[in-house]
Amino acid sequence: MNKLAAYAVSSNNSRGRVIHETPPAGRSEFQRDRDRIIHSAAFRRLEYKTQVFVNHEGDLFRTRLTHSLEVAQIGRSIARNLCLNEDLVEAISLAHDLGHTPFGHAGQDTLNDCMQNHGGFEHNLQSLRVVDVLEERYAAFSGLNLCYETREGILKHVAKKNIAKLGELGERFLQHRRPSLEAQLANFSDEIAYNNHDVDDGLRSGLITLDQLEEVTIFSRHLTPIKSKYPSLPQRRMVYETIRSMINTLVTDLIQQSTTSIKQASVNSLTDVHLAPPLIGFSQQIKKEQQELKKFLYDNLYRHFRVVRMSNKARHTIEKLFSAFSSEIRLLPTEYQKKFEHEGYQVIADYIAGMTDRYAIKEYQRVFTIAEN
């Protein structure tokens, strides 16, 4: 790892872990966090949780796992150029989706609706709950006992009603303080990976076309020179080249703009970062182009009738499972029945949120179908 800037997070200025542990030998505190996340059960389950397409729709579409790996790769590259803590960025990137439900955003929104009378559901808060409570791997503590800065980065935002439950982790929201630059960076790496790779999956699925995308500024201005230089290049390779070029532009712009913002804010310490306005971000031009791309994806991919149909099935599945478990707790696995006595409906949310796409489909069949499947 390169030499860290004075305002970067390090093992020396970390606020540490909730439960003190002997410092690791041969690796940093944030390498330890990363390793614990990779070895967690929740991380493995990301392989069968989807971004846009439900898992059984095809093996070539991105999952939460591949997305998280792509976010981590982009994040590390940017962190290296900004002299920030690569290991912390990687840990946050790998953990940021651990609390996501099956069936992508449709599942998340549905579970939130189901939980409205019981505190609601937030996937960021659930990701934190996974690493703080739900993982059961260690004798001395529940969860993964991650460093404060890793947990801070996982909790990108939270509803006001839940801030009081978070103790010192919720203080920055009350005091309107910024998280570390590493946390800010992981958030933008997520955006870069998400938008560009949804373009790839959308084209691969046939739900959006190259002709449509040529109307989108950022895609068109990267596609045009590639078409000119390689006029006979097959479309698939042309798309790859275009997306690769777009990611490079976004990463370069983020590095340049963030470097300028950091210098202008005269930050010299981690404390300065907390008190400054957001310092990681795109230039105004790129920000505008990114917003245009997001709107295009929302209108043409996320709201495509085939995606909406699958989302509707996903909502039905989660609604029915939640209703069944709420009506008859004995339908839950035994260990969750025991937890329900103390934690109530949050246990049902934990169970459903922890499901993969295919497990949720099978569980629906087990609960509601008489015939063997």
HEC string of 36-49 equals HHHCCHHHHHHHHC
26: phi > 0 → left, psi -120 to 50 → alpha, else beta; which? left
Q: Are residues 209 and 321 in the same domain?
A: no
Q: Are residues 298 and 349 in the same domain?
A: no
The token pair at 365 is 């069949």
Q: Are residues 320 and 250 in the same domain?
A: no
- pLDDT score of 1: 53
The C-alpha atoms of residue 101 and residue 124 are separated, in whole angstroms, by 11
Q: Is residue 6 part of a domain?
A: no
Residues 6+ apart with CB under 8 A from 246: 196, 218, 219, 222
Q: Are residues 114 and 230 in the same domain?
A: yes
Q: Are residues 199 and 214 in the same domain?
A: yes
Q: In which domain, by residue range, is 43 found? A: 29-308
* pLDDT tens for the chain, residues 1 to 373: 569 999 999 999 999 999 999 999 999 999 999 999 999 999 999 998 886 655 444 444 678 999 999 999 999 999 999 999 999 999 999 999 999 999 988 999 999 999 999 999 999 999 999 999 999 999 999 999 999 999 999 998 888 888 888 888 888 888 889 999 999 999 999 999 999 989 998 998 899 999 999 999 999 999 999 999 999 999 999 999 999 999 999 999 999 999 999 999 999 999 999 999 999 999 999 999 999 999 999 999 989 998 889 899 999 999 999 999 999 999 999 999 999 989 999 999 999 999 999 999 999 999 999 865 5
Q: Are residues 321 and 296 in the same domain?
A: no
Number of domains within the chain: 2
CATH number for the domain spanning 171: value is 1.10.3210.10
Domain boundary at 285, 308, 331, which?
308
The token pair at 46 is 């990301």
Q: Are residues 250 and 183 in the same domain?
A: yes
State which amino acid sits at residue 55: N
The C-alpha atoms of residue 340 and residue 276 are separated, in whole angstroms, by 43
Q: Is residue 356 part of a domain?
A: yes
- pLDDT score of 171: 86
Q: Is residue 3 part of a domain?
A: no
The C-alpha atoms of residue 150 and residue 32 are separated, in whole angstroms, by 11
Q: Are residues 109 and 139 in the same domain?
A: yes
CA terminus-to-terminus distance, the chain: 51
Q: Are residues 336 and 283 in the same domain?
A: no
Q: Are residues 119 and 155 in the same domain?
A: yes
Q: Are residues 174 and 300 in the same domain?
A: yes
Q: Which residue in 39, 81, 84, 47 sits closest to 65, CA to CA? A: 47
Domain boundary at 308, 328, 344, which?
308
- pLDDT score of 62: 77
Q: Is residue 314 part of a domain?
A: yes
Q: Which residue in 154, 7, 110, 18 sits closest to 349, CA to CA? A: 110
Q: Are residues 290 and 315 in the same domain?
A: no
Q: Is residue 100 part of a domain?
A: yes
The C-alpha atoms of residue 36 and residue 30 are separated, in whole angstroms, by 10
Q: Is residue 13 part of a domain?
A: no
- pLDDT score of 371: 67
Q: Is residue 19 part of a domain?
A: no
Rg (CA), the chain: 22
**Residue 50 DSSP symbol:** B
Q: Is residue 157 part of a domain?
A: yes
Domain boundary at 291, 308, 325, which?
308
